[in-house]
Amino acid sequence: MKPNIVSSLDSWLSYLESIHPKSIDLSLDRIKIVADAMNISIKAIKFIIGGTNGKGSTCAFLESFLLESGYAVGLYTSPHIVLFNERIRVNGNSVEDEEIVENLSYVDKCRGKISLTYFEFTTLAALNIFSKNNLDVLILEIGLGGRLDAVNIIDADCSIVTNIGIDHIEWLGDTRDFIAKEKAFIYRSNKPAICGDFSPPDSLLNHASEINTNLYLINKDFQYEIDIANREWSYFGINYIFKKLPFPKIFGDNQIINASVALAALDLLNYYLPVQYKNICSGIEKTFVPGRFQIISTNPSIIIDVAHNSHAASILSKNLQAMGSFSKTYAVIGMLKDKDLIDVIKKTSINIDYWYCASTYGSRGLKASDLSHVINKTIDSNDVITYDFSSPYQALCAVLSKASEQDRIIVFGSFTTVADIYNNIHHIL
């Protein structure tokens, strides 16, 4: 039944999942018509962040830097881990159910007979919420790709592509060159743009040149240096140089890259959004993103990570190796069937002794037994040991009955895998 303005947020979200024939239907035609009907007007300075991995962390660093500098900031990210409200933040706080419902109802009223996907619908609601707030800055994360993603109806004052890896090949293409061009379409003519990939494909560089964007590249136009001994790092940019910055609380050298990319965006817009060293330091220390190599227990060590593609799996493997030695490593893994399972398994298998496979659900879900089959087929060893469970929580409970204090547990894969652990964390710890 169609919800109304007093219906619950859960009722609205269930309704949105049912009204469009496809969960992903890449096009800007429908959403542009509805956006025009809604007369959305946002005067804030706008950042759009795309890329294969690191988008969420880059958004979080950028939000934190700006909030610490005293700016009014709106943030739109996806997907969420526990509550949908995580996706829409104003001045560091998630928007309440009632406000989201009010704006979903307004989108529904304005769309008439036009069918929208879940993501298109919720993106319009978020933009309308932001338009009602007196924001200085708006940070928008691309959901998938770039060119035809709903967020790309907004013209950014600065656009960021964090990196380019192989993911979502059904919609974006099966090479880095194809994928990079799709992502490069968030760049705008005569506006600053950033790429945080160390070897950006020619398609991205060529597109940036064709539309005359002002492209800035990591390790060319801005750099970072890490001082491991003193746990400090420095940023060197066009207008800013920040030395002796603290290490992020989010684990991994890749987070310094994400922070550098966020700093580069502020560097390029320094005239409009000036920031100071002290605010950058405090911003780094306060930045937190759940599910990014997050250690939720130390006895035994339990790490959760939303690594679900090849690039993220490489980072996860590197971070696991940097942790030091453990007696055994247990993996709780749940994946979606449209991911590159084989490469994810190959990248992480060197660190893992036991595989506890969990089923994921929905149209893209993968049964634990099918995941076990891929693992056994991929790993060239007679010693591979897999177990199957109906949920990540059940798998983790089984691991905890076996693991000792000298072992570690890594829970990784889809966002729904990590979400299941978050939702049951009070039963686990």
Here the CATH number for the domain that contains residue 214 is 3.40.1190.10
**Residue 315 corresponds to which tokens in the numbers above?**
């980072």
* Measured distance CA(149)–CA(29) in Å, rounded: 11
Tell me what pLDDT residue 37 has. 97
Are residue 311 and residue 263 in the same domain, yes or no?
no
Does residue 270 fall inside a structural domain?
yes
Q: Is residue 66 located within the same domain as residue 199?
A: yes
Between CA 388 and CA 333 the distance in angstroms is 10
259 lies in the same domain as 405: no
DSSP conformational letter for 46: E
- 375 in the same domain as 241: no
- Does residue 358 sit in the same domain as residue 326? yes
> Is residue 1 included in any domain, yes or no?
no
> How high is the pLDDT of residue 208?
97
Residues 6+ apart with CB under 8 A from 225: 233, 234, 236
Same domain membership, residue 267 and residue 402 = no
Does residue 79 have a cis peptide bond before it, meaning omega lies within 30 degrees of 0? Answer: yes
- As a whole number of Å, the end-to-end CA separation of the chain is 39
Give alpha helix (H) positions in 112-184: 118-131, 169-172, 176-184
309: tokens are: 């593609």
Within-domain flag for 364? yes
Q: How many independent structural domains does the chain possess?
A: 2
Residue 150's nearest CA partner among 25, 304, 267 is: 25
Q: Are residues 251 and 324 in the same domain?
A: no
The pLDDT of residue 31: 95
Q: What is the pLDDT of residue 22?
A: 65
CA distances from 148 to 20, 56, 171, 258, 333 (A): 17, 19, 10, 24, 31
Residue 134 CA from chain centroid, whole number: 26
Query: Do 170 and 40 lie in a common domain?
Result: yes
Q: Are residues 325 and 209 in the same domain?
A: no
Q: Of 286, 307, 336, which one is at a domain's C-terminal end?
A: 286
Is 136 in the same domain as 266?
Answer: yes
pLDDT of residue 6: 73
Do the Cβ atoms of 260 and 287 come closer than 8 Å? no
- Whether 108 and 234 map to the same domain: the answer is yes
Measured between alpha carbons, how far is 110 from 104 in angstroms, rounded to an integer? Answer: 10
Q: What b/e string do you get for 220-253 counting C-beta neighbours within 10 Å, with b at 16 or more?
A: ebbebeeeeeeeebbbbbeebebeebebbebbbb
CA atoms of 119 and 106, how far apart (whole Å):
15
Distances (CA, A) of 159 to 67, 143, 281: 19, 14, 23
CATH number at 306 reads 3.90.190.20
Question: What pLDDT, on a 0 to 100 scale, did the predictor assign at position 224?
Answer: 97
Which residue from 224, 255, 258, 228 is spatially nearest to 241, judged by alpha carbons? 224
- CA Rg, the chain, in Å? 21
The one-letter amino acid code at 367 reads: K
Pick the last residue of a domain from 267, 286, 305. 286
Scan for tokens 């036991």, then name that residue. Answer: 354
Give the angle 267-273-279 at the CA atoms, nearest 5°: 80
Last residue of a domain, one of 224, 251, 286: 286
In the numeric block, which tokens belong to residue 138? 């708006």
Where in the sequence is the domain holding 330, given as residue range(s)?
294-428
262-264-265 Cα angle (round to 5): 65
Contacts with 247 (C-beta within 8 Å, 6 or more apart), sequence order: 231, 232, 233, 256, 284
Would you give the DSSP letter of residue 272?
Answer: T
Q: Quick check: helix, strand or coil at residue 200?
A: coil
Calculated CA dihedral for residues 362, 365, 368, 369, nearest 10 degrees:
110
Residue 2, domain member (yes or no): no
Q: Are residues 352 and 389 in the same domain?
A: yes
3 within domain boundaries: no
410 close to 331: Cβ distance less than 8 angstroms: yes
Burial class (CB in 10 A: 0-12, 13-18, 19+), 321: exposed
pLDDT by 10-residue block (mean), the chain, 429 residues:
84 89 74 96 96 94 98 96 96 97 96 92 98 97 88 97 73 75 95 96 96 97 95 96 96 93 98 98 96 92 92 93 91 90 93 95 90 91 88 96 94 94 84
HSE-CB at 306 with a 13 A cutoff on CA atoms is: 21
Going by C-alpha positions, the residue among 273, 267, 264 that lies closest to residue 135 is 273
Q: Which helix (H) or strand (E) segment is 312 a member of?
A: helix 310-322
* SS3 (DSSP) at 356: strand
Torsion of CA 53, 57, 58, 63, to 10 degrees: 150
